[in-house]
Structures are given as structure tokens and as C-alpha cells.
Amino acid sequence: MKQYDDCFFCGGTVDEQLLPREIRWKEALLVFEDVPMGVCTQCGEKFLRPEVAKRIDTILRSRKRPIRTLQVPVYQYQMDFA
């Protein structure tokens, strides 16, 4: 586990967790699983280390095949929905 500085937003302690990360890339919604992210224990803000962001970018550019595909329902938000 990597060490993180205190939270930039609230000053809380940041611990590393493996979480899913949703990314929009070229009109598509993609999900990366088990991404190491710093998560503030106080406010919940999430942080990516630069090397993790670069690795995700490398994977996206390599056009590596996903391990599986999910179907995601899409809804239109309506102000007057009862």
C-alpha cells in the first residue's frame, strides 16, 4: 500500500483502496476494476497517483480487449417526474 498526503480538500487521512473507476473515453463509458486509489477517510474524496493515471491511459491507447462487457441502463432525467 502506498502512502498519501492528507486530503487536499479537508485535511483528513487518505488510505489506499482498490475500487472501480468509471472513465469516459471517445464517447464510451469504460470501467476499470481494482484501481488503487487514495480515499479520504473524512470526506470520501478520491485521488489517483500519477503513475496509476498513466497506466490507465496506456491501457486505453493500447486498445487492449476488456475482460468482459457490461450493459448499462440509461435514463433521461425529467424535472416533472412524479
**Could you report the per-residue pLDDT of 18-77, keeping only the tens digit for each?**
999 999 988 889 999 999 999 999 999 999 999 999 999 999 999 889 999 999 898 888
Of the candidates 54, 68, 56, 62, the one whose C-alpha atom is nearest the C-alpha of residue 22 is 56
When pLDDT is cut at 50, 70 and 90, the band that residue 82 belongs to is low
Distance CA(22)–CA(30), nearest Å, equals 6
| pTM (2 d.p.) | 0.82
Measured in residues, the chain has a length of 82
Of the candidates 21, 16, 11, the one whose C-alpha atom is nearest the C-alpha of residue 42 is 11
Query: Which comes out higher in pLDDT, residue 26 or 11?
Result: 11
